[in-house]
Amino acid sequence: MVIDRALRHYRDGGVDHLLSKLRDQLDYSYRYGSYGLERAVFSDLQWYRFTTWRNQRGVDAAADPRELRWVDPEDIQRVSPFNPRFCWRKLGQVRDGDWDLDCQRFDDRFDDVIRALEARYVDGEDWADIQKVQDTLDGERWHFYRGEEVWEWVEKLDALHDSIAEKRAVPVRSLLDASFAEAAYEENDSLADRFRPTTNGSLFFGETDDVQILDWLDDIRVDVGRDGELLRHNGRHRLWFSKHLDVREVPVCVIVRHEQWQDLRDEVAAADHVDELSDRARDHLDHPDMIDVREGLAGVAEELERPVADRVAADPPAARADD
């Protein structure tokens, strides 16, 4: 199997293509093994504390990764470049670089899925007549389903669509009716269980009837770019349903923030009054990812009442008290 795959890559693009695929596979294997080891040796609570500590060292105004942000789904138009398969290892992370600049549009990245959803929920077609279903029956993968498993998957999609249509946007933790303490187990029952981690939301391990931490955090996930742009990290089906059903606000869990955006959060958190802020920070005070750091900031209510275009123009830097 491995040799066949290697030969196919070599035939497709020669040595360079083969080496590129080999690097990708090694990187995947490393991340897969690291994530699996972390989930195995730690209890849920230990894993959460370790992950947030590792990802938020040196960050001044670090956000609580458990806090949800309520955002307009129409504000999420592009897709983060980060692989959602290992998103939980990045929970609460701050990253520099240009990863947020050249991102695909949501409609382009998932055009095949969107065509299928439109055929079903806009045009009213039967699942059996939709090309995406036929492709899955022929061996392609849709989500984690292949072949005849597709009928189980589309049944879940219908249920999800109906749930969002009826209840609009409800955080997963509310649907589960569980607290964080109930979801984040403090210890595993036995040594054997430490090496058989299970969670309903896991991509790697078996399912369990118990609510665990990754279930509790399993809302739509986003990353935040340098200028506050919300980039889809995970949850493509729920995001499309929310847009299609005209849901005005959805709860999202932030996975990664750009370092420049975090600098703005740090600036707002360190200030006592809006007059101390830079133009750029003041212009983003109404961003949903600023809610936690602007608490207690004097003058913020008055600032937010002004139209965005007038906030900085009406109070140029030269006129501020700290200049």
State how far Cα 162 lies from the chain centre: 22
Which DSSP string corresponds to 77-96?
-EE-SS-GGGGGGGTTEEE-
CA within 13 Å, CB half, 295? 7
Alpha-carbon distance 206 to 216, whole Å? 17
Mark the ranges of the chain whose per-residue pLDDT is less than 50.
197-208, 311-323
**pLDDT tens digit string along 101-151?**
999 999 999 999 999 999 999 999 999 999 999 999 999 999 889 999 999
pLDDT at residue 319, rounded to an integer: 33
Cβ of 205: how many Cβ atoms within 10 Å?
16
pLDDT at residue 198, rounded to an integer: 46
pLDDT at residue 257, rounded to an integer: 98
CB 220 within 8 A of CB 238: yes
* Residue 301 burial by Cβ neighbours in a 10 Å radius (0-12, 13-18, 19+): exposed
- The pTM (predicted TM-score) of the whole model is 0.84
